[in-house]
Copies of this chain bind each other. A is one copy, B any other.
Amino acid sequence: MRAEDHDQGMDPSTGQPVGAPVGHTPIEEVDRLCRAAATAAPALAAFSPPDRAALLRALGAALEAHRDEVVALADRETGLGAARLAGELTRCVVQFELFAAALEEGSILEAVLDPADPSARPAPRPDLRRMLLPLGPVAVFAASNFPLAFSVPGGDTASALAAGCPVIVKAHPGHPALSVLCARIVADALAAAGAPAGSFALVHGVEAGRALVVHPAVTAVGFTGSVAGGRALFDLAAGRPDPIPFYGELGSLNPVVVTAGALARRAEAVVAGFVGSFTLGAGQFCTKPGLLLLPAGHGLTGALADAAGAVAVGPLLNARIRDAYLAETEALAALPGVRTISPGPAPDGAGYRVAPRLFAVGAADLVARADRLLEECFGPAALVVEYADRAELDKVFAALPGGLTATVHAELPAEAELARHLVAHCVARSGRVIWDGWPTGVAVTWAMQHGGPWPATTGSVHTSVGVTAVRRFQRPVAYQNLPQELLPPELRDGNPLGIVRRVDGVLGLA
């Protein structure tokens, strides 16, 4: 088997193969799976919201039933540690349960009933009823860094199935055996719960992934990965004869700004929190704080160096990420104006282990070299940016690309006006604004927003985490003057499913 024909899982702590190679999916097989998904789509769409909720609960239960097996294999292929991976599995289960509950409550279906109105202006109005229906087969590109939560049984899969869409996952090559195991659990659970054949499939390989994005049966794509990879697939999706939405989460710097007031009050907590956050999961979080904006003369260089030097991070996910991390941090260190705070000890040579690396630069130098310094570096590296005054802070924010998060540490009430100013900067450039905390950790809940202006995502009007992530895979349809028996139950008189609806403009259970 040639290297370009298969994915081979590797143990990051040893650099040795795990399990057998997994062959790439031939294009004819991708076509067959997409056609099967298109056939499954109307049958899956016909599941009522409670029946769809039951499917999701069955998926959560199946993952739970295979917990030990899944966590052990995930750890072998990713080296992220059993505790972290068990948490990720729980997160997937909780996500299926939350989406199931949301379907039962029903407001995510956005059912709206507007009765006929003969006196409407400028013309009499017919009976109109509208709801969100499943869009159709969805392609999901799995990420490397969350081998469960942003992979086969993760957020995009859960969102698309909650919407009622068949899913075809393109496995991440970093954890092929885990992907196969999870896909089998998902597919078996769906089949056992009565979902139509073709509701779920897994493919491997770059060419299979490209074939998914341009396949006529595929109606949307969810993606988590790099800016370069995401942009290439976005362009494919937009270039189709019939363009389809491409929901890509690409890259984010997640700046944290600390004011003089916050620094004076709690410098120690800032150092500990920052180093803990940027090294979490070996710095392989999409929400890693890659930039710490500190007042010039902060006096924390020693403390930061000590803290970063004391952290032992797990190995990086694979050799490619390790090599890129080493090359990018070397290049960063060599840029004029960049000082190394913590070079990290030399890696011990076992597997893909590296040391955290922390750098510092003045705000003016950062702005002058924004093209080089404002790129995400995957892994446990971060940059301290030292600003002289608010004018410099404003220039830094003006140079910042869009991101998933932005964080403010300030003191109230003393710095209220400055805090408001900084929060406005953060809102303008990100999808989640954090006060006095750290961006790593993304709760799966109604209010979560995981998205932001380019390049954080390809479309900032949506989210990839939280209940409203389902909305990406739903299509509104209005029914005009349909007889009761031809309406979906969600829109019938008397609300037989008992879901939240908007009737004559008013939200409720009518």
Enumerate chain A interface residues (CB-CB to B < 8 A). Answer: 42, 86-88, 90-91, 94, 101, 105, 107, 110, 112-114, 120-123, 125-126, 128-130, 133, 135, 220, 234-235, 238-239, 242-243, 245, 402, 412, 416, 419-420, 423-424, 427-428, 430-437, 441, 443, 445-449, 451, 453-455, 458-463, 466, 468, 471-483, 485-486, 500, 502, 505, 507
Contact = CB atoms under 8 A, between A and B. Distances in A.
A265 to B, nearest CB: 15
Contacts of A42: 424, 428
6 contacts: A107-B502, A120-B445, A238-B238, A242-B455, A432-B480, A435-B482
Nearest to A437: B481
A433 B478 contact: yes
B477 A432 contact: yes
Contact of A481 (B107, B434, B480): B434
Contact of A507 (B461, B477, B482, B500): B500
B486 A420 contact: yes
Contacts of A502: 107, 446
B419 A480 contact: no
Given A242-B455, A245-B459, A468-B476, 20 more contacts: A86-B122, A88-B122, A90-B122, A94-B121, A112-B446, A125-B443, A126-B443, A235-B238, A235-B239, A412-B485, A431-B477, A432-B478, A433-B478, A433-B482, A435-B483, A437-B481, A447-B478, A453-B475, A460-B475, A461-B473
Contacts of A433: 477-480, 482
Contact of A475 (B101, B435, B461): B461
Nearest to A484: B412
Contacts of A112: 446-447
B476 A451 contact: yes
Given A123-B441, A126-B437, A412 B483 contact: yes
Contacts of A486: 412, 419-420, 423, 435
Contacts of A453: 242, 475
Given A130-B448, A130-B449, A447-B114, A91 B477 contact: no
Contact of A113 (B121, B435, B443, B447): B447
Contacts of A485: 412, 416
A446 B505 contact: yes
Top 5 closest pairs, chain A to chain B, by CB:
A449-B478, A238-B238, A90-B122, A242-B454, A128-B447
Contacts of A447: 112-114, 128-130, 478
A434 B476 contact: no
A175 to B, nearest CB: 19
A416 B486 CA distance: 8
B128 A443 contact: yes
Given A120-B443, A126-B443, A476 B238 contact: no
A424 B479 CA distance: 12
Contacts of A475: 431, 453, 460-461
Contacts of A105: 505
Contacts of A430: 477
